[in-house]
Amino acid sequence: MSENKMDISAHDDRDPNPWLALYLDDSIPINSTTKLALMRDNASRSARYLLPIIQLWSKLCMFFIHVFKFFFPRLINSSKILHRILSWGLKRFVSPDANLLIFRHFHVGTEILQFIAGNIPNVEIVGNPLKPRDFEDIKDDLFLKHDLNLYNFVIRLNSQLMAKKITISPPDKLNLEMISEDQFEHIEFPRKWTNILDLRSAIELFTPFYQLFLTSNDFLRASNSLQLDETIAIYSSQILNTPGHLGLINNKHPMVPQTTYSVAYRLVLHGLAAETLHEVLVKMKHNENRDGVVTPR
């Protein structure tokens, strides 16, 4: 079966493609464009052959950078240089499917935070929406701002909840105006012969640069922010009154941080959790458009 297609006509009962099975399975809510890109990414030669080598290289680099940062914590510290490297690397070496998954994540994450803020009465949170449209947008500290947004959102939200003695609960009518159904057909990602890296290989490759050019606090915060998936999911489930959505979350227990060496794998799980929650909200918006009103169940 071609690594670029999920085609059932090529199915072989003696050698079934696991990614075709997951692509056809509809048990987990996820955007169709995202799902196709993720399954093709998993089936790529890069994920099969390059990822194990890059993972080993990444862990070794992270160990030595960790030691270096212990003795010289601020000798190398430049978010601007880091994001120029990320922009350059994504544009030249990362596959179109992986780039689509990365770009979509910022849009999806922004809309989820806007959804939570927009469905808690008497709470006003001025955020920093991140919706990159090209590789130039990455240079504006995009990845760092994404991590800062999460923590600042949790701090601002809970400080207002405490000050105003508010409890998160289902609103009378859900506000879904911030949820879009963007399929990302407006962005044309590079398809040169060098654009081969799958999503996890790209993350593993770039993580040591992230560790090197950020302060230890910034890097640890970025790693620990992944476990806020559970926190955001709890807020959303309280608004939607559907605790079953928490079963789709794998990054949990933010008060018990994990080692930074697992950050690449957890980052992919973070992206998947955001996509599944966003698709739930998109489907609810479909129901709203069809029936005229949506109330939390």
> Structural domain boundaries of the chain?
30-291
**Total residue count of the chain as it appears in this document:** 297
The residues, ordered by sequence, that sit 6+ positions from 267 with a Cβ below 8 Å of its Cβ are: 203, 226
pLDDT for 2 equals 40
* CA dist., res. 281 & res. 139, Å (int): 30
The alpha helices in 94-128, defined as continuous H runs, are 96-118
SS3 197: strand
Contact between residue 142 and residue 206 where contact means Cβ atoms under 8 Å apart: no
pLDDT for 245 equals 72
In terms of phi and psi (left: phi > 0; alpha: psi -120 to 50; beta: otherwise), the region of 175 is beta
CB crowding 130-153: b at 16 or more within 10 Å, else e? bebeebeebbeebbbebbbbbebb
SS3 94: strand
Question: Over its length of 297 residues, how does the chain's per-residue pLDDT go in tens digits?
Answer: 344 567 788 888 998 889 999 999 999 999 999 999 999 999 999 999 999 999 999 999 999 999 999 999 889 999 999 999 999 999 999 999 999 999 999 999 999 999 999 999 999 998 789 999 999 999 999 999 999 999 999 999 999 999 999 999 999 999 999 999 876 666 789 999 999 999 999 999 999 999 999 998 999 999 999 999 999 999 999 999 887 777 778 899 999 999 889 998 999 999 999 999 999 999 999 887 666 555 555
> Which backbone phi and psi does 125 adopt, to 5 degrees?
-125, 120
* CA dist., res. 181 & res. 17, Å (int): 29
Q: How many CB atoms lie within 10 A of CB 180?
A: 16
The residues, ordered by sequence, that sit 6+ positions from 152 with a Cβ below 8 Å of its Cβ are: 127, 128
pLDDT for 296 equals 58
* CA dist., res. 84 & res. 88, Å (int): 6
Chain mean position to CA 48: 22
Q: What is the pTM of this model?
A: 0.92
Chain mean position to CA 63: 25
